[in-house]
Structure 1
């Protein structure tokens, strides 16, 4: 599998560069760009997996979410510059829905086939649930309702102030988990498993970090060119900006997280899987989305965190379903299948919208 991805990446990146310079057809380039980003994401996931073995599951999961979301952040910034604000908002909601339902669900489903019970820290799950409810229901849903009564300028003020608060709370949450309360709520089984683990990283720390940086830069170049194909793809296939953002951009942009989450679940390192799926969602909603709001102030058209009604309903339902399944610190393949089924139903709805 590694060799196949390596071959596709070695061929895909130069072909992407040549195709963009020679102005090949947009549909062909859209396919090439997506395949190339997915292969780059695969090796980004391998690098972050090695880092997690060295630095621990929480830091590894955080790094995977960060570098995975870096790709989507780049796509979003280039889309903002192109004036595709609706697509950016859709990619944010798509990441929330995709990580909670498709990423987590698929990892639980595949990992649950091999292991009958997938256990993880229930306290961490409940801690993440509180932040999820705050980010999606309070920070996203609240401004949506107020937007009906406020002027556009006031809505922007509310969005910017909310964004600053979200960023500060996200950073405070990281400090809580990684510094002041690191290991405080770790179970004895988790501590024992960390001591008994025999798995050794294939790559050293510096090689992994350098690989992550180089692949992220390569993904940035591909992402910029990918954005240029969206309008042609939309006209050709009849896809709306919302569908492209929610399904296509979120899956391509988060490919590395999907790969790593599944690999960790198969290895029964479920804490890392949860840290990736939930941690990435929190990072998107509490850090990436607010950063995009602040970045948009530099462009002619500003982005407000005001989602469509279908997007808000989908995100709220995804959070509630995820909270109910994960709060007990235990999952299985059937619960994973339930999450994936919910994602397919929502995806079908957005396709038909």
Structure 2
């Protein structure tokens, strides 16, 4: 998200679009595939299971995000809008607001309901073996985790500006198209943390956390990051028009 904001600030709209699309595809295909493969290799003598309810909820949110992105595109390509340009822009803003509200509701559901509603949906599922294991010892406290998160976020925001400014130069020096860097390389670098953690949890036979990390990241990008950047871009356009 930080990289996308800097790229949007520099007017690299196509890079933003391609990097967000690449992040969604990378999480859903590369990260999940590598995690399942690594988990299958480590636990090749047993069947790994995960919660069906978690997969259903994330699939529904991803489908909702696709619909929110598709409606303005359909209106644009069919040329069926009543007011040229204005209707498409209004629908895009409305869809973004609806997706943000839906994602906020999803977060509230996760934080308030915890696992009660999920267990009702997937009550017929076979419980995982590690459900009866004792809780793992906490390595760092909550405030230490928040402090590390704040420090790393600031550091990433500083490096993101240099990374965005180096995209075109890297494309010329490496003789690679900007689209390849935006869709393939940037998402792999940006999703390195999700990739490593998803594989680690899959190797520990915790597929629910693996799916939550990988598919949840795609859900966050499609329903929150894309929609928020859409509204930010509209605000920037309005400011430029007023100037």
| 2:15 aligned with 1:82 | no
1:128: which partner in 2?
58
Shift, 1:225, TM fit: 1.0
Deviations, residues 135-187 of structure 1 (Å, cap 9, x unaligned):
12x11223222211143343222211111000001111122233146333335
2:21: which partner in 1?
93
Q: 2-side partners of 1:201 and 1:143: how far apart?
A: 46
Q: 1-side partners of 2:91 and 2:227: how far apart?
A: 12
Shift, 1:189, TM fit: 6.0
1:109: which partner in 2?
37
Q: 2-side partners of 1:297 and 1:147: how far apart?
A: 17
Q: 1-side partners of 2:160 and 2:208: how far apart?
A: 30
Q: 1-side partners of 2:219 and 2:52: how far apart?
A: 17
Contact 1:160 1:293 in 2 (8 A): yes
| 2:82 aligned with 1:145 | no
Gaps of 5+ in 2: none
Structure 1 residues 1-353: aligned runs within 5 Å = 73-116=1-44, 117-136=47-66, 138-148=67-77, 149=79, 150=81, 151-180=84-113, 182-186=115-119, 190=127, 193-300=130-237
Range that drifts further, 229-238 or 82-91: 229-238
Change (3 A) 1:242 1:141: farther
Contact 1:90 1:241 in 2 (8 A): no
Change (3 A) 1:213 1:156: same
Shift, 1:191, TM fit: 8.3
Range that drifts further, 273-282 or 145-154: 145-154
Q: State TM-score, norm by structure 2.
A: 0.86
Contact 2:49 2:126 in 1 (8 A): no
Shift, 1:87, TM fit: 0.6
SS where residue 203 of structure 1 aligns? coil
SS where residue 33 of structure 2 aligns? helix
Deviations, residues 68-89 of structure 1 (Å, cap 9, x unaligned):
xxxxx11000000111000101
Equivalent residue pairs, number:
229
Deviations, residues 41-93 of structure 1 (Å, cap 9, x unaligned):
xxxxxxxxxxxxxxxxxxxxxxxxxxxxxxxx110000001110001011111
Gaps of 5+ in 1: 1-72, 303-353
Range that drifts further, 232-241 or 104-113: 232-241
Q: 2-side partners of 1:144 and 1:239: how far apart?
A: 29
Structure 1 vs Structure 2 CA RMSD? 2.1
Q: Which structure is richer in relative contact order (CA contacts within 8 A, separation 6 or more)?
A: 2
Deviations, residues 20-58 of structure 1 (Å, cap 9, x unaligned):
xxxxxxxxxxxxxxxxxxxxxxxxxxxxxxxxxxxxxxx
Shift, 1:95, TM fit: 1.1
Contact 1:261 1:272 in 2 (8 A): yes
